[in-house]
């Protein structure tokens, strides 16, 4: 098991409440690159003081998930990388199982946990850690990448800010006959939708709704064409528009803002605008 062959890449944004459990679950012999989209120098100093195996990169701005991970991957010198969310915890056997699996699957592009649902975690010790299944796509919270398999297609599409960038990457891989696998031996616990501090929950909820709709249209337009994408999202737009009006008239300001964000994200994507919305975080 050569730890020099693997680098962990974690993209963060106001993740101080979440990341320590994640980092503590990673073997101290593994190199970790943290890309901080909050550009927080104090956070950088705390992390680097506590963990000797971490290189902390201040992004300079909020790059989002796709571009942030690409920045981290551009600094990786090893054969393999593990893309990991700050709210994911690595099982103690996962790294060992990964190195055993790649002896069987040397030409994999992505290797990921077989349990893809948030807040589920397998503790079954009777499973065969070398079992695997070929799949078409995986979620992005924990993915081992075989970096030489990405030389011709690149990594994440940086037009995505958050959402569907890993689905887009998987689809591009499959179109190029690359292999994506899941395995029960690759185990993580993923809290899900909580990579950030709880104090900014509502602002992040607004951001998630805007970007989910923007990314949904952009993804479908990219792979299936403009008019199919329009047909795909028309019901979502109508629903969001009606709910925006409904919550406006009953004076539910929070829900009105959420559904307005969904309308706004979709309209911007339909009219070819970039994914420009950023969460409005007030620094203390």
pLDDT for the residue 200: 80
| Domain-embedded: residue 247 | yes
Structure tokens at 28: 């101290």
Q: Residue 119 has what pLDDT?
A: 54
Q: What pLDDT sits at residue 233? A: 96
Q: Is residue 174 part of a domain?
A: yes
Q: Do residues 186 and 111 both lie within one domain?
A: yes
How many structural domains does the chain have? 2
Residue at which a domain ends, from 168, 190, 212: 190
Residues of the domain holding 96: 3-190
- Check residue 123 and give its pLDDT: 54
In a domain, 278, yes or no: no
Q: Of all residues in the chain, what percent are helix, strand and coil, respectively (each to 5)?
A: 45, 15, 40
Evaluate whether residue 56 is within a structural domain.
yes
Q: Are residues 47 and 87 in the same domain?
A: yes
Q: Are residues 38 and 169 in the same domain?
A: yes
Please name the helix (run of DSSP H) or strand (run of DSSP E) that holds residue 34, with its range, or none: strand 31-36
Decide if 276 is inside a domain: no
**Is 209 domain-assigned?**
yes
Same domain, 164 and 228: no
> Are residues 202 and 140 both part of a single domain?
no
User: Is residue 62 in some structural domain?
Assistant: yes
79 occurs within a structural domain:
yes
Last residue of a domain, one of 152, 173, 190: 190
Q: Which residues pair with 89 in a beta bridge?
A: 189
Helical segments of 6-140, H only? 19-24, 41-50, 64-74, 94-104
Q: Alpha-carbon distance 46 to 235, whole Å?
A: 47
What's the CATH code of the domain at 26? 3.90.550.10
- Last residue of one domain, picked from the residues 157, 190, 223: 190
The pLDDT, as a whole number, for residue 212 is 97
Task: Report how far apart, in Å, the C-alpha atoms of 137 and of each of 15, 125, 182, 207, 279 are.
Answer: 26, 25, 9, 24, 28
Residues 224 and 171 in one domain: no
243 close to 214: Cβ distance less than 8 angstroms: no
Same domain, 67 and 159: yes
> 256 and 153 share a domain?
no
Q: Are residues 164 and 203 in the same domain?
A: no
Four-residue CA torsion sign, 283, 17, 197, 15: positive
Residue 44 shares a structural domain with residue 182: yes
What is the spatial distance between Cα 162 and Cα 212, in angstroms, rounded to a whole number?
Answer: 7
Ranges of the chain with pLDDT below 50: none
Compute the distance between CA of residue 179 and CA of residue 107 in angstroms, rounded to an integer. Answer: 7
Are residue 242 and residue 127 in the same domain, yes or no? no
Question: Are 252 and 169 part of one and the same domain?
Answer: no
């Amino acid at each position: 098991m050569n730890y020099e062959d693997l680098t962990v890449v974690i993209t963060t944004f106001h993740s101080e409440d979440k990341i320590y459990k994640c980092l503590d679950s990673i073997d101290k012999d593994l190199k970790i690159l943290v890309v901080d989209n909050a550009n927080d120098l104090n956070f950088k100093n705390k992390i680097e003081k506590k963990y000797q195996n971490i290189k902390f990169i201040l992004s300079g701005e909020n790059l989002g998930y796709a571009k942030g991970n690409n920045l981290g991957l551009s600094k990786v010198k090893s054969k393999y990388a593990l893309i990991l969310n700050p709210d994911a915890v690595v099982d103690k056997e996962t790294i060992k199982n990964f190195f055993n699996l790649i002896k069987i699957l040397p030409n994999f592009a992505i290797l990921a946990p077989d349990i893809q649902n948030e807040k589920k975690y397998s503790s079954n010790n009777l499973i065969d850690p070398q079992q695997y299944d070929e799949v078409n796509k995986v979620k992005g919270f924990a993915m081992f990448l075989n970096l030489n398999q990405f030389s011709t297609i690149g990594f994440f599409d940086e037009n995505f800010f958050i959402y569907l960038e890993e689905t887009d990457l998987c689809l591009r891989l499959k179109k190029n006959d690359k292999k994506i696998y899941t395995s029960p031996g690759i185990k993580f616990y993923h809290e899900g939708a909580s990579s950030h501090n709880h104090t900014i929950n509502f602002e992040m909820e607004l951001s998630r709704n805007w970007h989910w709709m923007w990314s949904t249209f952009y993804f479908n337009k990219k792979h299936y064409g403009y008019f199919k994408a329009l047909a795909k999202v028309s019901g979502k737009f109508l629903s969001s528009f009606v709910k925006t009006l409904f919550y406006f008239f009953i004076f539910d300001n929070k829900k009105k803002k959420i559904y307005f964000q969904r309308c706004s994200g979709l309209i911007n994507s339909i009219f070819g605008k970039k994914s420009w919305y950023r969460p409005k975080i007030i620094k203390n």
